Amino acid sequence: MDSNALPFFTDTHLLGISIANWLLALGVMTVSFIIARASVAFLFRNVQTRAQKPDAHVSHIAVEVLSSTSNTLLLLASILIGVGVLDLPERWLGRVSSLWFVVAALQLGLWANRAIALTLLHYFARHSHSEIHQKSALATLSLWGAKVFLWAVVLLAMLSNLGVNITAFVASLGVGGIAVALAVQNILGDLFASLSIAVDKPFEVGDFIVVGTLAGTVEHVGLKTTRIRSLSGEQIVMANAQMINVTIQNYKRLQERRIVFEFALPHDCSLDQIKQVPGIVERIIKAQEKTRFDRSHFRGFGESALEFETVYIVLDPSYNVYMDVQQAINLGMMEAFAKIGVRFALPARTVHVASLPEVSERLPGKNTDRTSMRAEPSYRAQH
């Protein structure tokens, strides 16, 4: 460089700072950005190599966290490094140090935001009972709450570092939060009901449930509503707060079905036939697949028939399987009872008539009346 040009850079000032000092700051800024970017890339490659190993969940999270590094914030940090070599007045040095904290807080916030999201999603995916993982209401609420808390802390920390009095700000946020909560209490009720469903898990996506007079398969559990696909095909949307206030029957978690069924035989069955009936029913049930026989008894004397009660277990929760088994049992009973001469009882009542009123009939061609008495000992009226 020409010796005559050197005084130009040292003696010429821009904003009170020499050109040489500005060039030095620009060089330091460029070198700082290149070093920072290269360091992040080197660290990213090393962590990515470790993430290829099996069960390296932490390394996978670290790769995603490093990938969220902001080039804009790295450039701002490099500019602050370059500004640090400038001959700035004392009052500007304090402001630069505050900007350092802002840049560092934002980058740490980005890393923490990605790490929290990945950690929570990995946790809920690992503890999900469904084959296809779908973000539950608990996962959504947890992620949303963690992010809000994180960025609230970052924002308050930056404001405090910049000299803002955050005490009054926090107090005003508290009062405003109470007012908002009162205004949207119905929505908040559904949100907390969604959280209750997610934690207590009375049902999950894919479960077949009965809620009052409604029945169907759960398709989606959201923050405010739960959507159910009914047996007839339409979608039922219910508020979460309403769901937790009613009795829910969850048939998806049914492991086996305990079946109690009754039948009746007429009173004219012989004693030998009555003794054979429980054994016949037992053999028919034991011959079916996916069943476990419990008991079959002659329960008692009914008003119009002899009553029997049978209990057995279907080892499959499917309703269609239960109906197939019950149909096979019914057909088997009809066939077996026909072989021993037993028929099923029909609803009937026997009425014994003591007497009937006299009926007068005039004989044709005669002036005399004939009085007759019509009486029957009994008759059976079906009703």
CATH of the domain at 299: 3.30.70.100
Q: Which two tokens stand for residue 142?
A: 């947890």
349 secondary structure, DSSP code: E
CATH number of 243's domain: 2.30.30.60
* CA separation for the pair 133, 208 (Å, rounded): 18
pLDDT of residue 295: 94
What mean pLDDT, rounded, does the chain reach? 77
Q: What is the DSSP string of 177-231?
A: HHHHHHHTHHHHHHHHHHHHHHHH-S--TT-EEEETTEEEEEEEE-SSEEEEEET
pLDDT of residue 21: 66
Domain of 33? 6-130
The answer to whether residue 307 is domain-embedded is yes
- Identify residue 92 by its one-letter amino acid code: W
Claim to verify: residue 116 and residue 198 sit in the same structural domain: no
pLDDT, tens digit (0-9, with 9 covering 90-100), for 297-330: 999 998 889 999 999 999 988 888 999 999 999 9
Claim to verify: residue 43 and residue 93 sit in the same structural domain: yes
pLDDT, tens digit (0-9, with 9 covering 90-100), for 93-141: 666 667 777 888 888 888 888 888 888 777 767 655 544 444 555 667 6
Claim to verify: residue 45 and residue 109 sit in the same structural domain: yes
* CA separation for the pair 191, 225 (Å, rounded): 9
pLDDT, tens digit (0-9, with 9 covering 90-100), for 151-202: 888 888 887 777 777 776 666 666 666 666 555 566 667 777 777 777 778 8
The answer to whether residue 148 is domain-embedded is no
Claim to verify: residue 235 and residue 312 sit in the same structural domain: no
* CA separation for the pair 110, 151 (Å, rounded): 9
The answer to whether residue 168 is domain-embedded is no
The answer to whether residue 225 is domain-embedded is yes
pLDDT of residue 287: 94
Domain end point (choices 232, 250, 268): 250
Claim to verify: residue 199 and residue 285 sit in the same structural domain: no
* CA separation for the pair 110, 104 (Å, rounded): 10
- Which pTM value belongs to this model? 0.46
The answer to whether residue 150 is domain-embedded is no
In 15-164, the DSSP E strands lie at 17-18
| SS3 at position 33 | helix
> How many distinct structural domains can be found in the chain?
3
Domain end point (choices 130, 153, 170): 130
Claim to verify: residue 212 and residue 119 sit in the same structural domain: no
The answer to whether residue 17 is domain-embedded is yes
